[in-house]
Structures are given as C-alpha cells and as structure tokens.
Amino acid sequence: MNLYGSLQPGGVLTALYPGNSMTLFDGTETPAGGMKSLAFARAMGGSPTDNGITFYASALPAGSVVEIEGANEDIDTSYQVLQALSPDTNGNASYTDIGRAAFFRAVLSTAGATMPRVIAQR
C-alpha cells in the first residue's frame, strides 16, 4: 500500500463518508516503527447524528502498537495521537473517534514480526 505523503488518485486526499470504509494498512507492508498510512479526510455527513469513525486493527502481533492520529490540517507535524491500539489476546484492537478532526491516519509506532491490517469504518 501507499504510505503517508504518496499522491492519491486525482491528487487529493480520499474523503471518508458515512457508510464507507478505507484500508489504511492491508497487512502486506514490511513492518517498520514509525510507518505512516495514507491520510484521509473526514467527509461531511448528511445526517446530524454521526457515530464517528471506528478504526479496526487485526493480526497485531504481541508488542505492536498502532497509533490513530488526527489533525485539522494535513501537515505531518500537525497530527496528534488520539489513541494507541494494543492487541488483545486474539491480536485485535479497535477505537471509535467521535471527535471532529478533519484528517486521520494510522501509524505503526512499535512494529512486531508481522504487519497488522488497519481499517477505518465510518
């Protein structure tokens, strides 16, 4: 998969709308600490009730940590950690962000032997 800073189709960030999902890491990357996924924009929703964005991580090896980051501008230094995901006994983790950051990404802050899969679901 392409990583943070890669040009996305059309030269703009993917917008994640309610009902859609986006794969941030597909598990085929070579794990490395500090690896950043492509960023995406939180699209405007058509409904006043918004359940946020849920991030699902699977196949997380023991000792791995995936950070979910958000920012109000897509500048590398503007991103802040919203949640650190550590694996449960089955190698899974999840986090739902109900905040209103404009941009999100995942960062493999501590790498294990295998690469996890991370999906954002809106």
Prediction pTM value: 0.89
Rounded to the nearest integer, the mean pLDDT of the chain is 88
Q: Is 65 left (phi over 0), alpha (psi -120 to 50) or beta?
A: beta
Whether residue 53 is contained in a domain is answered as: yes
Domain residues for the domain of 88 are 27-121
How is 29-86 classified by DSSP, letter by letter? SPP-TTEEBPPEEEPPPSSS----EEEEEESPPTT-EEEEEEESS--GGG-EEEEEE-
Number of domains in the chain: 1
14-45 pLDDT, tens per residue? 888 888 999 999 999 999 999 999 899 998 77
Whether residue 52 is contained in a domain is answered as: yes
Per-residue model confidence (pLDDT) at position 37:
94
Whether residue 8 is contained in a domain is answered as: no
